[in-house]
Amino acid sequence: MSIPVFAPWDDPLAHPLIQFKNVSKRFGQFTAIDDLTIDIFEREFFALLGPSGCGKTTLMRMLAGFEAPSEGQILLAGQDIAAVPPNLRSVNMMFQSYALFPHLSIWDNIAFGLRRERLPKDQIEERVTEMLRLTRMESFARRKPHQISGGQRQRVALARSLAKAPKLLLLDEPLGALDKKLRQETQFELMDIQEKTGTTFVIVTHDQEEAMTVASRVAVMDHGKIVQVATPDKIYEEPNSVYVADFIGEVNIIKGTAKPDGEASFAVTWSDTAPPLTALSQTTFSADQDCHLAIRPEKIAISADKPEDAANAVQGKVLDIAYLGNISTYHVELPTGAIIKAQTANTRRISRRAFTWEDTVWLSWTASAGVLLAN
């Protein structure tokens, strides 16, 4: 039995839950969001990723209702929400600082939103208990926020924002305050909760690993624009620009000029002395067009002898070795002076490592390993 793939963005009939239509936001002279158009679908876990100041937080605050767009429209389930104040939107937000009310107990924090709806007492009680169970905080209900740990506060903040069963949940750097191990655990918890509740999540983060882990689609932002929106694997394997390739993970960028040499295949001239590299690309490049070949370090093999059948092979000298435990990254200097990073999994113990500093090695990769980018 095959599980249907969740990909409403490929379905032309699907109705987006959120639509940004040519939205711009300016603060005085500064343009935070620049003519942005994007659709987000129901049940999606959508990540906004970018460096600080790229406009991702502004985008989220416009969804929550704390900022109004200077131009353009934001539709939620087909309705323009510009005139709807934050307290009347069926959108809830989990704040970066968690913003738990310090004078209220955990129970009262979670019940806060429900009480504003004037729900009957037993319904509130039921819903709060459910939320406490969902976030495994049952035994802390009577405590105040300062009496629980950072990780627990994060779960309470999540429970509080989910209590009103919003159509859309916004998460502003939700795991920023947690240490790395706890963060990884919590990422899976978040995904689990998102699936259980079926809520649409929009998460803002500057941590690319986090975005890749949790999101169904990732939008990479820069200077108020979305550079690329795609699933995590597409963003990683098929970035549409050097900016995206460089922002997500590690990458080697080799500058050169392209020349078509067959069906979707190009020869990349990158140095006066070395033979051209071969790269496959669906995008066409004209002869002598400037291009960038982006190759992930883990797609580059490192060997002592020149591999016979490799499409691309270059020789160099080991400059540096970064040992990360599970993997090692070799920084190899080519005769041209360029430095290429190659990664290998440390399947053997370190004492059996094949290469060391100053060794002459061969780097090789297939024609389809890299991505040819125009800019």
Residue 45, beta-bridge partner list:
201
Nearer to another protein, 105 or 368 (CB): 105
Residues sharing a CB contact under 8 Å with residue 265, sequence separation 6 or more, in sequence order: 278, 279, 280, 281, 367
Nearer to another protein, 145 or 224 (CB): 145
Q: How far is the CB of 266 from another protein (least distance, A)?
A: 50
Query: Angle at CA 215, nearest 5°, toward 135 and 77?
Result: 85
Q: How far is the CB of 95 from another protein (least distance, A)?
A: 5
Q: How far is the CB of 326 from another protein (least distance, A)?
A: 30
Q: If DSSP codes are grouped into helix, strand and coil, which group holds residue 155?
A: helix
Binding site for another protein (CB under 8 A): 64-66, 85-88, 91-93, 95-97, 99, 101-103, 112-113, 116-117, 143-144, 146-150, 152, 160-161, 164
Nearer to another protein, 163 or 258 (CB): 163
**Residue 215, Cβ neighbours under 10 Å: how many?**
23
Nearer to another protein, 115 or 255 (CB): 115
Q: State both tokens at 113.
A: 């939103």
**Exposure pattern of 338-372 as b/e (b: 16+ CB <10 Å)?**
bebbbbbeeeeeeeeeebeeeeebbbbbbbebbbb
Q: How far is the CB of 204 from another protein (least distance, A)?
A: 14
Q: How far is the CB of 89 from another protein (least distance, A)?
A: 8
C-alpha span between 18 and 80 (Å, rounded) = 10
Q: How far is the CB of 351 from another protein (least distance, A)?
A: 40
C-alpha span between 21 and 129 (Å, rounded) = 39
Q: How far is the CB of 50 from another protein (least distance, A)?
A: 21
Q: State both tokens at 328.
A: 């090692």
Nearer to another protein, 42 or 67 (CB): 67
Nearer to another protein, 55 or 113 (CB): 113
Q: How far is the CB of 111 from another protein (least distance, A)?
A: 10
Nearer to another protein, 144 or 234 (CB): 144
Nearer to another protein, 99 or 141 (CB): 99
